Amino acid sequence: MKPLQKTNLAEQAYAVIHRLLLDGGVAQPGDKISVEDLARQLGVSRSPVWSAMARLEAERIVEIRPRQGVFFIGFNRDRLMEIFAVREVLEGAAARLAAERADAETVARLRESITRQRAATRPGCQKEYAEEATRFHVLLAQLAGNVTMAEMIERLWAQTQAMCIRPEAKRAILDERVDEHARIVDAVERHDGDGAEAETRHHIRRIAAEVYNL
C-alpha cells in the first residue's frame, strides 16, 4: 500500500480500508484487524485509522469490542437472510423506478456493465466480476433517482460482500447471474416496471439461496 497524503487523512483511510476489507486483502470474515498494522502500512498515526473504524462499525462492516480490539464482520447466516430480505424489497423497488425513468443513455450504461460482467466470468476473474456486479446493482439503484434508497442498498451490498468473501464461484453460476442481470436490463429498456421488479427480486432470492447453502 502507498502511504496516504497528509490531507483529509480520515476520509482517505476510510476509503482504502473499506476497499481492502471487501477485497479480502486485510482479513477474512470474523478475523481480528490490527489498527497498528494498518496505520503503519498507510503511513499515518492510529487516529485516522480509528476514525475509519468507527465509520465502518456504523456501517456494520467491523465490530469494535471493548478491551478486545476490532473484528471484521463474521459470517452470520441469519443476519444475511435478513439483509437479503431487505435487499429484495429495496432493489426490486429501485429497478421499478429505474424502468420508469430509463432513457437511452441509462440503458447503454447498464448494457456496458453486462458486457464487462460477461468478460469477468473467466476463471481467475472472481474479484473483477464481484466488483462489476456490485457496480451494476449500485448503478441500478442510483438510476432510480432516490438518493436515500441508493445509499441504503449500497450499505447492504457492502455488508453482504463482507460476510461472503469465499473461494471462486463456478463459472456456470456467474453466467446465470449475468443472464439474470441482462433480463433486468431488458425490462428496464422496455419501461416495464413490473418486469424489472420481478426479475430483480427473483435474482436476489437466487443469490440468497446460494448463500444459505454455504
Q: How confident is the model over 27-56, as pLDDT tens digits? A: 888 899 999 999 999 999 999 999 999 999
pLDDT tens digits along 152-192: 998 998 898 888 765 555 777 889 999 999 999 999 999 99
pLDDT at 6: 56
Element (H, E) at 192: none
Architecture of domain 9-72: Orthogonal Bundle (1.10)
Model confidence band, residue 2 (pLDDT cutoffs 50, 70, 90): low
| Listed residue (89, 136, 77) closest to 109, CA to CA | 136
pLDDT at 214: 59
Query: Of 1.10.150.120, 1.10.287.3510, 1.10.287.130, 1.20.120.530, which CATH number belongs to 77-212?
Result: 1.20.120.530
CATH 1.10.10.10 residue spans of the chain: 9-72
pTM across the whole model: 0.81
Q: Is the pLDDT of residue 7 over 90?
A: no
Q: What angle do CA 86, 90, 94 make, to 5 degrees?
A: 165
Contact assessment for residue 140 and residue 95, using Cβ atoms and an 8 Å cutoff: yes
pLDDT tens digits along 57-114: 999 999 999 999 999 988 888 999 999 999 999 999 999 999 999 999 999 999 999 9
CATH 1.20.120.530 residue spans of the chain: 77-212
Contact assessment for residue 28 and residue 19, using Cβ atoms and an 8 Å cutoff: no
